[in-house]
Amino acid sequence: MDTNNLAQITFGGGCFWCVESCFNMLKGVESAISGYSGGHKDNPTYEEVCTGETGHAEVVQITYDPAIISYEQLMDVFFFLHDPTQLNRQGNDIGTQYRSVIYYNDDAEKAKAAEAIEVSKQSGRWQGTYVTELTKFDKFWPAEQYHQGYYNENPTQPYCSAVVGPKIQKFKKHFEELGMLNEE
C-alpha cells in the first residue's frame, strides 16, 4: 500500500461496531477507526454521545489507498451496510447519533458523495426517501479504545451476536464474491 497517497473518508451509518469491522476487511483500507463527528463538544465520550445531546454521530473514519479501492467502491459498501432511508436510526438503534451521514472534505468530494447517493437510489436496494446528510467535515474524535475492533473482541456479546454478526456475514458473502476482501 502506498502510504504517501492515502485518502480519508468519514461517515456514519448506524452503530460503528459493524461498520468499522466490515471496512477493516476490505482490500485497500489501511484503517477504519470508530469515533464521533458532527457535534458541538470537544472530545466527547461514548456515554455523552449516547444521550444525543452533543450532536455527534457515531462514525467510522477510513484511511484507504485510492489506487486499490475507489471512493465509489467505499460508497457502495457504505450503502450496503445501512439503510439510508431511516431517519436518526438503524433498526432498533434510535437517536441522532445513528444518523446516515457522509462528511466531505471539499466540494469535489461533496459532488462525488451526492453522486453516490444517486447511484444507490437508482440501484433500488433501498425503498423510500434517502435521509443521508452531506455535511462538511470538521473534526473527528476517536472513540474509546474498547470500541476499536469491538466485534472482533466481543463476538458473543448479545448485540454483536444478534445484530452485528449476521450483518457481517451478509457483507462477507457479497463482497467476497466481488473479490474485495483481504485474505483471512
Element (H, E) at 22: helix 16-23
15 is catalytic: yes
Measure the CA–CA gap between 52 and 34, rounded to whole angstroms: 17
Give the active site residue among 15, 18, 22, 160.
15
Residue-by-residue DSSP string for 61-122: EEEE-TTTS-HHHHHHHHHHHS-TTSTTEETTEESGGG-EEEEESSHHHHHHHHHHHHHHHH
Sorted by sequence, the CB contacts under 8 Å of residue 171 that are 6+ apart come out as 22, 25, 77, 80, 81
Residues known to be catalytic? 15
